[in-house]
Structure 1
Amino acid sequence: MKHVPNALTIGRILVAPLSLYLLWTGTFWGQFSGTTLFILAAITDWLDGNLARKYGVGSRLGQFLDPLADKILVLGAFLLVPFLAPLDASLTRPLGAWLPWLAIGAIAARDVGVTWLRSVYERRNRPLRTLSAAKWKTAWQLTFLISVFVFLTASHGRDLDGFFGGLFRFTYATLTSIGPLIFLLVTSAITVYTGVLYFTGREESDLV
């Protein structure tokens, strides 16, 4: 059991590029398979930490690998989203062109900053534990990404007739509305806020 959490984390690292490649193909089956793998990888993100805590088998290797796996999976997906989903469809250019990238850039900058802070703590032999707010942040990020990928996959059926055709046309209309962009901006704001908590020393009880 002590090796299971790390095995799940390593599996997430290996699956992430395949999932992102399948989503990139733009085909229904590619995006369906990529979305399925992404959801399974997201589940392992929750499962490995819970198993490590439940059985007391946490390790320094796991503390290093888990954030790395998250960055490969989540940041990779965020960087892919603007190429797949028309987040700027409801806005005029140039605002619509750069606003999604600004939000994603803020998410990436926060992760780079926290990674640097974690390395500083490691050099002092003081591992930086994940804040409780950061766990909610990850859940929010994954909810956004999974929603976009599910709606993107469903939009392939918008040319069908009947109930399902209408349903899939609705998902495509939602995807091209301003809703996903607002969701992304809120996700970015939450992500940056959790980064501020690390650097301001908030929730000190969570730091070793």
Structure 2
Amino acid sequence: MKLNLPNLITLSRIPTMFLLVWLMYCEWRWSATLAFWIFIATAIGDWLDGYLARKQNLVSNFGKFMDALTDKILILGLMVAFVSLPQYNWPPFLVMVLLTICREFLVSGMRMVAATKGVVVAAERGGKAKTLFQLIAVGFLLFVPMLEIDFAPLLPFPVSEYGTILHRTGYALFIVATVLTVTSGISYLRKYQQVFDDSAK
């Protein structure tokens, strides 16, 4: 299969995830800022690949499948990286990560079973809303170290209070995203439960 620009943008989210995780653990100046803006570019790319595919009439089953899969790889990789950081290494956040991982494995497994029967399970509204809230939540959480580490020394006022507000906002968005993760996962499994029927064609 010949890769086109939308598919290349989609696939770029996989190496970008590794780069972002590395930057999250770097201790050199401006690494947090670089991580934030690379993530913003990646989030824009998540919209851009679909837009280009539709505009250039390049929508394909491969693109639909990989778009959903690379979103999962990006978000799960970053969530696991957050859990390893001291400020996120506590039970409620860990539970949200585990719920998200379980849901994504279940839905991805269902997609693979469906693919063997010629059924393509494309992203639906609930799944897209879940991904949107996850991306926004990650954006808030990546903005906090950029503010507190990179820009705090340059500002004439303390930023700790603002950092706390942004952190709590990101955490609240993750709670909303987790609720959407669970509910949309249940919706997918109910809608496509027939793919698990061995008699289904």
TM tier, shorter chain? 0.7 to 0.9
- Is the 8 Å Cα contact of residues 157 and 169 (structure 1) preserved in structure 2? no
Can you list the C-alpha shifts for 1:79-136, whole angstroms capped at 9, x where unaligned? 1123346247xxxxxxxx2111001110111111110110111010011111112111
Counterpart mapping for 1:6-155 below 5 A: 6-84=7-85, 86-87=87-88, 97-155=90-148
Can you list the C-alpha shifts for 1:42-81, whole angstroms capped at 9, x where unaligned? 1111110121122221122212322222122111111112
- Give the TM-score normalised by the residue count of structure 2: 0.84
- Give the TM-score normalised by the residue count of structure 1: 0.81
CA distance in 1, matches of 2:155, 2:108: 50
| 1:113 to 1:26, Cα distance in 2 relative to 1, 3 A | farther
- Identity among equivalent positions (%) equals 25
C-alpha displacement of 1:171:
2.8
| 1:117 to 1:111, Cα distance in 2 relative to 1, 3 A | same
CA distance in 2, matches of 1:24, 1:130: 32
CA distance in 2, matches of 1:54, 1:39: 22
SS in 2 for 1:160: helix
SS in 1 for 2:87: coil
C-alpha displacement of 1:26:
4.1
C-alpha displacement of 1:160:
3.4
Alignment of 1:170 with 2:171, yes or no, is: no
CA distance in 2, matches of 1:39, 1:158: 18
C-alpha displacement of 1:140:
0.7
Within the candidate set 172, 178, 181, 1:191 is matched to: 181
Structure 1 unaligned blocks of 5 or more: 89-96, 203-208
Can you list the C-alpha shifts for 1:138-173, whole angstroms capped at 9, x where unaligned? 11110000011011211115763764x32x222333
Amino acid paired to 1:151:
V
- Is the 8 Å Cα contact of residues 87 and 175 (structure 1) preserved in structure 2? no
| 1:137 to 1:85, Cα distance in 2 relative to 1, 3 A | farther
Answer with 65-74 or 146-155: which moved more.
65-74
CA distance in 2, matches of 1:155, 1:149: 11
